[in-house]
Structure 1
Amino acid sequence: MQTREPVGGARPTSKDVARAAGVSQATVSLVLGDKWRGRVSERTAGLVRQTAVDLGYRPNLAARNLRLGRTRTALLVVPALTNEFFARVYAGAAAVAEEHGFGVVLYPSPEGVGPAKDPFASARAALDGVIASSMAAGALDAIRGTDLPLVMLDSDPADPASAAHVNLDIADGMRQVTDHLLGLGHRRFVHLASAVPSWTFEVRARALDAVLRDVPGVSLRTVPAPLDVSGARAAAGQALSVTGPRPTALICDDDIIAAGACKAVRRLGLRVPEDVSVTGFDDLALATALEPELTTVSLPAERVGEAGMSALLSVLEGRAPEPGDLPVTLVGRGSTGPARG
């Protein structure tokens, strides 16, 4: 199909697309607004899209947004961009948003975790909805009860204030870690539990306890650990220095905590995994930077962002978001081995 630019090199309009494709402007609007299914044939829709590409047509989003009464903007609230996981969540959300003509505004909590200043006071009218991590839930008080739809990531599905939830199968991840260590003969465990109050970390603790409580000869001690390498190293050092039989495995809520745990093991003159096995959670780039490399649970961060944005689009269009938790996978590496003795 041959197409040509409008006379004078002016920016092509939907009318130009309609004329070149031999269809009405209404059909062009349906196809480019992604509302053609059941109203326009797939062949015609493909023709319109290809014609728009050939002409270099770009929709006037500002005018369309005024007609729709929407800004086509979502706010993503995360604890901090210094954490690789949330940067990847943003990348996934932004990719889906771009496909649907949406933008994503990122709001990281200034403190990294917990409560944050209200980002909504001046921006509420400029948003269509909010996607938020449960770790930044303190920043959301300002919109609960408003008409802005809220999609929560990795959060309590019983929360009635949320329009939708996107969760990872965190409990299964912890079960995979525990089964792996039990299979290696470990029976004395320390859970280095994140000191950050969050539903996702509560799930880890409950799942770990549920697996181990009925296993004969098992001991489990929980030690709170800050979500940073230095604080986690100190917490792990204390856990390993208590009198009595030393734990043979440190189960960490996060790869960052696990990095601190590995440092603590070495500072005590011990070896990973010969003396103490260490596991993480997240599978950050840090996991393969450690030596030995870290056994951890891989979380599909980009998929979390994609599913969060898709869920928000579904809510805005009056459709039910896709149900079900996203699967996670244990990645076995060199930081775990058979229990000594």
Structure 2
Amino acid sequence: MTTGSDETAPTRPTSRDVARAAGVSQAAVSLVLGDKWRGRVAETTAERVRTAARDLGYRPNLAARSLRLGRTRTALLVVPALTNEFFAHVYTGAARVAAQHGFGVVLYPSPDGIGPARDPFASAPAALDGVLASSMASDAVTALRGDALPLVMLDSDPERTAPGTATVNLDIADGMGQVTDHLLALGHRRFLHLASAVPSWTFDVRAHELAARTAHIPGADIRTTRSALTVEAARTAAHAALTAPGPRPTGIVCDDDKLATGAYKAARALGLRIPDDVSVTGFDDLSLATAVEPELTTVRLPAELFGERGMAALLAVLDGRTPNTTALPVELVVRGSTATPAH
């Protein structure tokens, strides 16, 4: 005997219901909702199927689909740390694109930001379809995927990645070039490069571009000091560099906004005014950039778009298509932390 609640329980719509509502075959529904319709189903038909599925509240049976396709429809995003605002935005963009294609994204931080990591699954190759990873956590990737999973690297040297590995990059070199040209145009010649101590291609690019842009400028000098990616470590490193023997730098070029915030604290502890006595630049355009006074001149990185592009590249690899690996443009945002040097 059935209960009243059984009799009134809603029936979950099926792909057959969607096909009937859209006036198409179930095969067409499968192609459209599996994002395999291009070149096989008309765009107007695909839109009709999507509208019918949305109106009916249809949700595909992902477990059955996984068994049928041999996929888990899950990707792993490996980042250096969950506390980094930039990577939070990268995840948001990646998850948005993944959801549009019926994928989920597992976010996994490499322990201590860099270095090896244990497989968070009983077997990553069995639980995942692919990996999207920051170059800052590249050591973790080897332990997680071996050679068994498709991989897209973010912010990585395309010349040094394994064969078959796609890379998606921001135009970091151009970003540092914009910073350097801005400071040179203001008249700065003595630079302190407050560099990240993390060994990573993305930071190597910044150092190389800063050196290249100043190499042929008469009187240009770069003093480099490295720091962990924390405000306190940067304050200590910048304080030591600003009190070292020799002419004091007039411009501090920082590898990211956290380092720039540490440079602010060091300058103020020494009684230096920003930008009157020393100009400071950052990289990333985090919320810190407009929280400090004066607001920070920095390079804006389109983090969410970066995540979107990375996930789109991974989906392309999974489908056997060529991913878009064109570097994403970045933008120098000039604020109050830079000015003509006093001397």
TM bucket (normalised to shorter chain) is over 0.9
Query: What does residue 52 of structure 1 align with?
Result: 53
Distance in 2, Cα, partners of 1:61 & 1:48: 18
> Partners of 1:24 and 1:219 in 2: how far apart?
70
Aligned equivalent of 1:13: 14
Pick from 159, 173, 187: which aligns with 1:185?
Answer: 187
Aligned residues of 1:65 and 1:72 also touching (Cα < 8 A): yes
Contact 1:231 1:260 in 2 (8 A): yes
Alignment length, in residue pairs?
Answer: 335
- How many Å separate the matches in 1 of 2:9 and 2:42? 33
Q: Distance in 2 between matches of 1:186 and 1:334?
A: 16
- Find the aligned partners of 1:260 and 1:173 in 2 and give their Cα distance: 21
Query: What letter matches 1:182 in structure 2?
Result: L
Pair 1:131–1:272, CA change in 2 (3 A): same
Equivalent residue number for residue 282 of structure 2: 280
Match of 2:4 in 1: none
Displacement after TM superposition at 1:303 (Å): 1.0
Distance of aligned partners of 1:160 and 1:275 in 2 relative to their CA distance in 1, 3 Å threshold: closer
Letter in 1 for 2:34: G
Could you tell me whether the CA contact under 8 Å between 1:194 and 1:201 is conserved in 2? Answer: yes
Give the CA deviation at 1:18: 1.7
CA distance in 1, matches of 2:196, 2:31: 49
**Residues 1:292 and 2:294 are matched in the alignment:** yes
- Is contact 1:116–1:136 with CA below 8 Å preserved after alignment? no
Post-superposition CA distance 1:244-289 (Å, at most 9, x none): 2111011010100000001000000111110010100010000100
Q: Percent identity between the aligned chains?
A: 71
- Aligned residue for 2:232? 230
**Distance in structure 2 (CA, Å) of the matches to 1:160 and 1:323:** 13
- 1:72: which partner in 2? 73
Query: Normalising by structure 2, what TM-score?
Result: 0.94
- Asked if the contact 2:76–2:131 (Cα under 8 Å) also holds between the matched residues in 1, the reply is yes
Partner of 1:149: 150
Corresponding residue for residue 62 of structure 2: 61
Q: Which runs of 5+ in 1 are unaligned?
A: 1-6
Cα-to-partner distance string for 1:101-149 (whole Å, 9 max, x where unaligned): 0000010122123333333553330100000000111101225652201
Query: Deviations 1:300-335 (Å, cap 9, x if unpaired)?
Result: 111111011000000000000013111110000111
Aligned mates of 1:8, 1:245 — CA distance in 2: 79
Residue 202 of structure 1 is matched in structure 2 by 204
Contact kept in structure 2, 1:163 and 1:315, CA below 8 Å: no
For 2:213 and 2:121, how far apart are their aligned partners in 1? 42
**321, 324, 332: which is aligned to 1:322?**
324
Q: How does 1:237-252 map to 2 (within 5 A)?
A: 237-252=239-254
Distance in 2, matches of 1:258 and 1:286, equals 9
Paired with 2:197 and 2:95, the residues of 1 have a C-alpha distance of 30
Superposed, 1:90-109 pairs within 5 Å as: 90-109=91-110
d(CA) in 2 for partners of 1:121, 1:64: 22
* Counterpart Cα distance in 2 of 1:337 and 1:252: 16
Kindly provide the CA deviation profile for residues 175-203 of structure 1, in whole angstroms up to 9, marking residues without a partner as x.
10000001111111111111111110000
Give distance in 1, aligned partners of 2:89 and 2:20.
Answer: 42
Q: Superposition RMSD on alpha carbons, in Å?
A: 1.5
> 2: CA distance between counterparts of 1:168 and 1:199?
12
Contact kept? 1:120, 1:142, Cα under 8 Å: no
> In the alignment, which residue of structure 2 is the partner of 1:337?
339
- Which stretches in structure 2 are left out of the alignment for 5+ residues? 1-7
2:133, 2:231 → 1: CA distance?
Answer: 25
- Map 1:121-160 to 2 at 5 A: 122-143=123-144, 145-160=146-161
Question: How far apart are the structure 2 equivalents of 1:267 and 1:236?
Answer: 11
Preserved contact between residue 125 and residue 145 of structure 2 (Cα < 8 Å): no
Structure 1-normalised TM-score?
A: 0.95
Structure 2: how far apart are the matches of 1:171 and 1:121?
A: 39
Residue identity in the other structure for 2:241 = A
Task: Find the residue that maps to 1:9 and give its secondary structure.
Answer: coil
Instruction: Give 3-state SS (helix, strand or coil) of 2:252's partner.
Output: strand
